[in-house]
Every structure is written in structure tokens, then in C-alpha cells.
Amino acid sequence: MAKPSSLSWPVRIFRFLSGYGLAVTCLLLLLVLTWLSTLEQPFKGLYEVQKRYYDAEALFVTPDLPWLYFGGKQIIIPLPGAYLVSAVLFVNLFLGGIIRIRKGWKNIGVIIAHFSMVSLLFAGFVSHKYSKEGIMFVMKGDTSDYAQSYTEYTIEVCEIVDGQKTRPYVVQAEYLKTLEPGETRTFKFPELPFDIEVSDWMRNSTVVKAPLDDTNPLAIDGMALQSQEVVPTEEENAAGCYVDVLPKSSDAKASRLLLYGPVGDAVTATVDGKIYGFTLVREIWPMPFRVRLEESEGEYYPGTNKPSSFMSVITRLAENEENKFTIKMNEPMRYGGYTLYQARWSGETERPQSGFAIVKNPSDQWPKYSLYISMLGLFIHFGVKLWSFILQSAKRQGQGPKEGAPKNA
């Protein structure tokens, strides 16, 4: 066996990346990060904590907890982000638990178990990268075919003809949420006679009255946006921004609009004699099926708004077929990569309303399959060890006592 000092650098790096020490370090870091993020969630909110600790861009995180302040100053403890740690653990398990491990029938169960852990981490990556979450509200007797994001806003631009909206052009949420305070970003629409310029994006805002003079250059018709402190519950934040409509024809005049999330009606502007509507709405994505609410029932714990049970009977309309399902709080409906959970209920009006949390996650069932694979691997490993023990015991009994040893009477 070669001495460590005589090994080449590639071999040293491979051994480090596939070693037990790195695996234990990653697991301990994930334990600490999960613990700290759980403690921080009541102060920062679930959305903010997930973004700070688990986002792909969060390479490092500094815990921000009350007991980490002394004398008014924060104790800085930089830690690697959970996404980075999980990526390193994935490499470690793949190299050490599948590539480097000694091959043979005695280790086949361990290799299968390691493969299940690698697939579990990969499922987490797919979920983080490609999953979407939203909510669908349906009143009894109505049908819906779209979901709306809890947190992400988009800007919809469409021509209004005879009072009706035409096909919208959408500025996606990924381009808006990265806007910094005071930053301006231009979006071009090749099929429209204008471009738009978004400025003064506010993650949480409110509309206030402004004097009709030059003291507030952002005021529009006596109204202006005012930034508000971001609240921990992200879905309660009301985004707002200013939009400058920039006509492509040189003789047309630009116009400025104020867009505010809670206002559902479109703000209009006229360009080249046509009316266009601009709306700041939570991101909407269509479903590959429709949901008709047949029955909706719910109960709350006495004297509280905490639900004790929700239940909905729906009809799923897809591919010229109608299928009836009962959705309860812990019994979702799955179809075409989408999962519908019973999340909210309102029975205060004549027609009750159900709110379905909708999750589109390509790896939704992968963790379950990974668990089955892990169970199979551990069962095989246990069987191999048990069989080896039985053979060794039988061999020892077959040899009998050694020569010269006293025999039992």
C-alpha cells in the first residue's frame, strides 16, 4: 500500500472527497443548519429563511438570532449554505459509497443503500430546481383550470378590445424579484408598439396620497407608492412598482403608470390609438386539467380559526374524461405530475369555497422510491451477514473439539 506522502494530488483529492471525514462533516453541518434555520423561522418567516439557508445562491449564511447579539453587536458565524453542503455530500456519497467502496457480493446491500441516499439527494435537487407551488381557489359549483403563486409577482400586458383582454404578454417573476431598490430594467416586446421600463420595485408597499406638485416626482394623479417593511409571512407582502411605457414611434409620448399588487384591475395606457392594460398580479400558471368543486366542508376548533378538518369532493376534467375524487387534509389527489392538497376552506358565504395547494414537482415520489431502495439494500445486507454467521457457526460446530480437549460426559 502506498504511503500518503507518495500519492499523487489527484489521488489525494479523490480520497478526500470520498472519505468518511467529509461525510460526517457534511451531515453535522446539515444538522446544525436545519436547527438554526428552524430557530430563525419565527423571526424571519419561512420564505426568507428558506432563501437565506437553502437557496442555490446562498453559498454562505450568517445566523441571525437574538442570542447571537452581545452589547448590541452581532456575533458573525459564517456557515456554508445547505445547498452547497448537500452538493458536496452528493459527490462524497457517489465517490465513496459507490465508486471507491470494495466491490463484492458481501457489500452489494451497502452499495444499494448508498445509491438510495444519492438518489434522495438528487431528488432534492430536482425538487429545488423545477418544482412550483401555488394555490387554486374554487367556489362550490365553479370550475378552475389555473393556479396562482403564493409569493411571485408578474406583470401582464395585453391589448383591450371591446372591454375584453386579449392574449397577455408576461414579464416573468424571475426578472422582477431580482430588481434592487432604485434599479431600472427595460423589457422589450417585439410584437407590441412599445417597450416598458420597470423601476422602484418594492417587495412590500402601500399606496398613499401625494401632493399635486413637484415635491414627489413619482406621484401619479395624486398617488404614490410607499415602501413598507417586509413581513415574515411572504404571501402577505404587497409588491408595487412604476412602469414607464416607451412607444417605439418617435412622435409618441411616454407615459408612467403605478402598479400595485392588491389592485386587480388593469391600469391602462393608449399607444398608437390602441388601449393596453397593465396588471401586477401573482404569477398564474395553467393546469393540464380542470377542477370542478362539487362539495366543500370544513370545521374549526371551537373558538379558533385553526382548522380541525377540511374535505372537498371534486370532479377532475381531463382528456375528455370526468373522474370524481375526495380530497382531505392528508389525502391529496395526484395527476400528471401535479398534487392537489386541501389547504383552505371558507364557509362564510352562501357557496363555500375550497383552496387547494397545488405542487408541481417532477420528483414528488422519488423520496418514497429511495426509501424502498434503501430498505431493500439494508435487508440484503442483513441477509448476507446472517447467512455468513450461520455458515461460520455450522463450520465451527462441524470441526468438533480440538484434540486433547476434555469431552463432555
pLDDT tens, position by position, 36-84:
999 998 888 788 898 899 998 889 999 988 888 887 788 889 999 999 9
pLDDT score of 4: 60
C-alpha span between 174 and 237 (Å, rounded): 17
- What's the predicted TM-score (pTM) here? 0.74
C-alpha span between 100 and 15 (Å, rounded): 9
Specify the length of the chain in residues. Answer: 409
CA–chain centroid gap for 208, Å, is 33
Longest pairwise C-alpha distance within the chain: 118
> 305 forms bridges with which residues in the sheet?
none
- Write phi, then psi, for 191 (nearest 5 degrees): -90, -5
C-alpha span between 380 and 105 (Å, rounded): 10
- Write phi, then psi, for 131 (nearest 5 degrees): -80, 150
pLDDT tens, position by position, 235-257:
889 999 999 999 988 777 788 99
pLDDT score of 408: 53
pLDDT score of 409: 45
* Domain segments of the chain as ranges: 8-130, 132-145+285-360, 153-284
pLDDT score of 213: 62
> 356 forms bridges with which residues in the sheet?
136, 342
Q: Which residues of the chain have pLDDT under 70?
A: 1-5, 212-216, 307, 400-409
> 190 forms bridges with which residues in the sheet?
none
